[in-house]
Amino acid sequence: MKIENANPGKDISAEDIRTKFPLAAKKHASDHSVVKVGNVSIGEREIVTMMGPNLVENRSMIFSIAEWAKENRVSILRGGCFKPLTFPYRGVKYFETGLQGLKWLSEAGKYFDIPIVTEAVSESQVPLVAEYSDMIQIGTRNMQNFPLLTTAAKTQKPILLKRGFGSSLRDFLGAAEYILLEGNSSLVLCERGIVAPHTHKSTSRFLLDLQIIPAVKEISHLPIITDPSHATFWAPWVKPLALASIAAGADGVMIETHVDPRNAAVDPLQALDLTQSSDLVQFIHSIAKLVRE
Ligand code: PEP
Ligand code: MN
């Protein structure tokens, strides 16, 4: 396929590829970037799993999950510390742990020798997140917070850029370009569900856009993973959509794993327990074997 003619007549033109996101676009059909996070490579044959709790609630829970992650050959430990919480009121069931959480996560990652990823919600948090973590997550609500993108990119740390839940692929690649323009090519994209006409009803909060996986692969060299936990908002649907993501060509998945999902402080309905998470890891590698070998 000639990249120049990618998607003729669609919302991404050959001119966009040339002038708006030349760094995010691939030059040759076979171009694909590999991003290193610690000793993990994202965008190669091996599927990457990023698993852990929505919120690093306390030291013992993150140590238990990190130990489980290591035993189950999970690639990267995820955990929120600075959270973009939807509602401003905080309580015993809805809080963030900030710098303290970041220190616990970092300690657990080092103890079990597993790289960690966590979100920076604002520019002022970037230096701390860069100091303690192996990869900086930019959340869906900040995909077009351009000063934040630039500040995070300048650290030269690997970046996980989540797609804005109302953003087109064109906007997504525009945001990616801000990061690449800082000379930071350690960039991984993440589809985490978009708002569609039927969402925000009783069925689902977001719709996982599986179609963006081949679309990204057609235009860009960047690796892409999905986050079916945030998309479905509903634990029973996480496994089918994680497996569908891998079958559709994703380079990995981000999954919420909790020691006691029903009592999770944030988003209790979407987390898998450790047994369900171990089962999912096995299935992910089985599907990957089928589609990647
Ligand atoms: C998260 O991963 O914890 C998170 C808040 O995700 P998103 O930005 O996709 O909502
Ligand atoms: Mn969440």
The domain spans of the chain are: 28-291
43: pLDDT strictly greater than 60: yes
Q: State the chain's mean pLDDT as an integer.
A: 95
Q: Which ranges constitute the DSSP H helices of 136-168?
A: 146-154
Characterize the bridge pairing of strands 35-37 and 40-42.
antiparallel
To 10 degrees, what angle do helices 98-111 and 59-71 make?
30
161: pLDDT strictly greater than 90: yes
For residue 12, CA distances in Å to 144, 187, 222, 280 come to 18, 21, 16, 35
148: pLDDT strictly greater than 80: yes
Which whole number is the average pLDDT over 183-204?
90
Predicted local confidence at residue 265, as pLDDT: 93
Could you tell me the distance, in angstroms and rounded to a whole number, from the CA of residue 265 to the centre of ligand 2?
Answer: 10
Which whole number is the average pLDDT over 11-23?
94
Pocket lining: 139 vs ligand 1, CB cutoff 6 Å: yes
Which whole number is the average pLDDT over 93-107?
96
Pocket lining: 162 vs ligand 1, CB cutoff 6 Å: yes
Predicted local confidence at residue 5, as pLDDT: 53
Expressed in percent and rounded to 5, the helix, strand and coil fractions of the chain are 40, 15, 45
**Residue 9: which pLDDT band, with cuts at 50, 70 and 90?**
low
User: What residues have CB less than 8 Å from 45, skipping those under 6 apart?
Assistant: 292
**Residue 205: which pLDDT band, with cuts at 50, 70 and 90?**
confident
For the ranges 4-18, 107-121, 152-166, 240-254, the lowest mean pLDDT is seen at 4-18
Residue type, 208: L
Predicted local confidence at residue 1, as pLDDT: 46
Q: Which ligand is nearest to the CA of 78?
A: 1
Predicted local confidence at residue 203, as pLDDT: 76
Other Cβ atoms closer than 10 A to 198: 9
25: pLDDT strictly greater than 70: yes
Q: State the distance between the two ends of the chain, measured CA to CA, in whole angstroms.
A: 22
Predicted local confidence at residue 234, as pLDDT: 94
For the ranges 76-85, 130-139, 203-212, the lowest mean pLDDT is seen at 203-212
138: pLDDT strictly greater than 50: yes
Which helix (H) or strand (E) segment holds residue 256: the answer is strand 252-256
Could you tell me the distance, in angstroms and rounded to a whole number, from the CA of residue 3 to the centre of ligand 2?
Answer: 36
CA 15 to chain centre: 29
149: pLDDT strictly greater than 50: yes
Residue type, 116: I
**Residue 88: which pLDDT band, with cuts at 50, 70 and 90?**
very high
* Residue 249 burial (10 A CB sphere; 0-12, 13-18, 19+): middle
6: pLDDT strictly greater than 60: no
pTM reported for the whole predicted model: 0.96
| Ion ligand 2 nearby residues (CB, 5 A) | 267
Other Cβ atoms closer than 10 A to 54: 22
CATH classification (class only), 28-291? alpha beta
- Tell which one of 54, 97, 256, 269 to mutate to probe ligand 1, the residue whose CB is within 8 A of the most ligand atoms: 54
**Residue 293: which pLDDT band, with cuts at 50, 70 and 90?**
confident
Predicted local confidence at residue 3, as pLDDT: 54
* CA gap 43, 47 in Å, rounded: 8
Q: What is the pLDDT of residues 249-292, one digit of tens each?
A: 999 999 999 999 999 999 999 999 999 999 999 999 999 999 98
Which whole number is the average pLDDT over 28-55?
97
Could you tell me the distance, in angstroms and rounded to a whole number, from the CA of residue 243 to the centre of ligand 1?
Answer: 20
> Which residues is 49 bridged to in the sheet?
253
